[in-house]
Amino acid sequence: MTGVFVLINSRRFPIISHLRDQGRRNRDGVSAVTCFITFEGIEGCGKTTQVGLLSRMLEEQGKPVLVTREPGGCAIADKIRAILLDADNHALVPLAELLLYAAARAQHVAEVIRPALAEGKVVICDRFTDATMAYQGHGRSLDRDLIRTLNRLAVGGISPDMTILLDCPAEVGLKRALARIETTEGAREERFEQESLRFHRAVRQGYLALAAGDPDRFVVLDGTLDIRETATAISKAVLSRLSQG
């Protein structure tokens, strides 16, 4: 495996490269027979519901599954999540937001995702690096090369084997998301829901661009379809991928 480095403030930081092997990624210390599945999409696309349905289906088939999310997924990252999603933190500047996502991801990968993959589990994550490119790269218009560099540093060679993108119009997703928030008890994680419709449209287009650039990894589905219909399509796609080894 070739060593790759990024230069930051005259210091060299290693980035673990990864190789494809019949549709699988080899990871440092991680068995190639495991599977890392991510769900992506704009606010209100229905991905969290589908994460739950997929995990239950796989568990019923006897597969070891770990479900996690970003931002968050572990105690330290959850504290960063609270900062990122609290609407009272309206003064948070885009660059600080990006760096907080990177910090939360680095902790999450090291503490949760990498160990679970090493144990041979199917890991299902609600958002991952694609979300940062879509939201901070396309939505916030931050430098995409910088985002790629931070993502590489944070994940240390871990990358999804398969990404389910639930696509829906921004107007539909935002309406769903706001309705969900009104009926949810506890912390109101609505900082992004308060962004403009133009922002959410840019995020959606960012996701579609990412999917077009990596069609082997992405499965794009209509997020406006019936929940069960969508779940069936996801199950077929995931089981097909798992059957390939």
According to the model, what pLDDT value does residue 32 have?
43
Q: How much is the pLDDT for 181?
A: 66
Contact call for residues 116 and 66 (beta carbons, < 8 A): yes
- Per-residue pLDDT, 173: 84
**Residue 175: what pLDDT?**
84
User: What pLDDT does 13 receive?
Assistant: 38
> pLDDT at position 180, please?
74
* Predicted TM-score (pTM) of this structure: 0.84
Looking at residue 217, the DSSP 8-state letter turns out to be T
pLDDT tens for the 245 residues of the chain, in order: 333 344 434 444 343 333 233 334 444 444 445 799 999 999 999 999 999 999 999 999 999 999 999 999 999 999 999 999 998 999 999 999 999 999 999 999 999 999 999 999 999 999 999 999 999 999 999 999 999 999 999 999 999 999 999 999 999 988 887 777 666 665 666 788 888 899 999 999 999 999 999 999 999 999 999 999 999 999 999 999 888 86
pLDDT at site 174 = 86
Domains, in order of start, for the chain = 20-243 (3.40.50.300)
Cα–Cα distance, 96 to 14 (Å, whole number): 23
Distance of alpha carbon 214 from alpha carbon 209, whole angstroms: 9
Quote the CA–CA distance of 109 and 96 in Å, as a whole number: 20
Ordered DSSP codes for 21-61: ETTEE-BTTB-TT-EEEEEE-STTSSHHHHHHHHHHHHHHT
pLDDT at 187: 63
pLDDT score for 191 = 84
Query: What's the first-to-final CA gap in the chain, in angstroms?
Result: 22
* Beta strand extents in the chain (DSSP E only): 3-8, 11-16, 20-21, 24-25, 35-40, 65-69, 122-126, 162-167, 218-222
SS3 229: helix
Hey, what are 83's tokens? 């900062």
